[in-house]
Structure 1
Amino acid sequence: MFSFEGFVRINTFLTGVYRFAYLNVLWIATTVLGLGLFGAGPASYSLARYVDGWFRRGETPPVARTFVAGVREQPWRAMVVSWILAGAGAVIVTNVFGASSWTVQALNVVALVVLGVAAAYVFPVMVATDVAPVHRQLASALLIGFGSLHWTILGSTAVALTGWLLWQFASPLLVLFGVGIPACAVGVVTRIVFRPLAQAPEQPGTLAPHRSSIDAPATEQVA
């Protein structure tokens, strides 16, 4: 028989699953309403903002209200980052499939991996650190991703395996959890990576996690 603590753990897990589904739906809605070009960046920033506060500090304020606040926090900077990533991705993918030389194709595959690492960590860097210029945020994302390469590989493997399992056995759930799965993996990795940075003495020019992610008090409400 399950103990009371066991039921509490199950309830906490299911609440977390529901919260990620809710965040995923809000991300899709914001991206669609922003016609992709104007919505994906702010939506990704807001998603990273909520996950960072949830995983690192245990803050779980109302999802919708907090997500909307995150979208409005610094939309233009988030849009610029998303445009840079999208533009670079378009060029790299074109070269992968259009280049006549296999060497060029292989180099662009490597560049695509580097771009994927930057895209995974740049919004958490924007949310959780004091790094301000866009080019430094992208550089910091690469520093975190490749500086903690073992965690990046483990997180990527978990995302790929989860995505494959859902695709094979419950493909409709990919729509419900598609963005939430990598967001969860990145949240776990950044929680581990940012912990020693937060404990170390702050020095100019270094990554310095701050407490600007979620200003509302911690609560267990979901909506």
Structure 2
Amino acid sequence: MFSYEAFMRLNLFLRAVYRVAYLNLLWIAATALGLVVFGIGPASYAVAAYIDGWFRRGETPPVTAAFIGHLRTRYWHTAAMGWILLAATAIIVTNIFTGSSWLLQFANVVALVVIGIIAAYVFAVMAATDIRSIPRQIVAALLIGVGSLHWTIVAAAAVAAVVWLLASCALPVLVLFGVGIPAAAVGFVTRIVFGQLDDAQTSPPTPRETSPAHLHLARGTSE
């Protein structure tokens, strides 16, 4: 027999699962309505903003209303970020398949990994910090991904394992959750990273916290 506490924990878990799936469906709808080019940036920002508020502050407003609100808040700014990431990815992928030497192809594979790191974190940076310029947001996203490389690797491995498992055993479930899986993984990482930055701003700095990368992010969150 389930105790009341166990039932409530199960209920909270199932509601969280539903929320992630619904965010993914909203992301698909917004991206499609924006013909991908005009939708993927704002939709990704809306998902990142909702998950940031949920994971870091425990805020769970009605999903549809909150998603639409985030979608409209910084539409053109987030759309421009989407354009930059799409253009960079297209150029790099083209270079990988048309490169004249293996060294050039390898360099572009490394660049594609860098773009992947930036794409994973940049919308969370836009949602959680006061950094406004696109170049600084890109730099901050890269600093988080590389500065917390162990967490980035753990999150990437977890996402790859879940995606492989669902693709092998339950493909419709993978379609249902889609982008919600990596978005949730990034949310867990940024919850840790931004939590450490918040602690650093309220306590004396340690040698690690005075590193250029840490100081850059700390300044960005307080601007």
- TM-score normalized by the length of structure 2: 0.91
The CA deviation at 1:56 is 0.1
Deviation string 1:69-96 (CA, Å, 9 cap, x unpaired) is 0000000110111111000000100111
The CA deviation at 1:10 is 1.0
The answer to whether residue 221 in structure 2 is matched with residue 208 in structure 1 is yes
The CA deviation at 1:3 is 1.9
Partner amino acid for 1:150?
A: H
Identity %: 59
Partner amino acid for 1:194?
A: F
Helix, strand or coil at the partner of 2:45: helix
Q: Name the counterpart of 2:143.
A: 143
Q: Name the counterpart of 2:4.
A: 4
Report how many aligned residue pairs link the two structures: 210
Question: Quick check: 83-92 or 194-203, which moved more?
Answer: 194-203
The 5 Å alignment of 1:59-208 reads 59-201=59-201, 206-208=219-221
Between Structure 1 and Structure 2, the one with more helix by share is 2
Partner amino acid for 1:198?
A: D
CA distance in 2, matches of 1:71, 1:207: 23
Q: Name the counterpart of 1:47.
A: 47
Contact 1:197–1:207 under 8 Å retained in 2: no
Contact 1:85–1:119 under 8 Å retained in 2: yes
- TM-score normalized by the length of structure 1: 0.91
Helix, strand or coil at the partner of 2:141: helix
Q: Name the Cα RMSD after superposition.
A: 1.5
Partner amino acid for 1:154?
A: V
CA distance in 2, matches of 1:80, 1:31: 14
Over 2 Å off, 4+ runs: 199-205
The CA deviation at 1:207 is 2.8
Unpaired runs of 5+ residues, structure 1, are 211-223
The CA deviation at 1:175 is 1.4
Helix, strand or coil at the partner of 2:116: helix
CA distance in 2, matches of 1:209, 1:78: 21
Partner amino acid for 1:116?
A: G
Helix, strand or coil at the partner of 2:221: coil
Unpaired runs of 5+ residues, structure 2, are 203-214
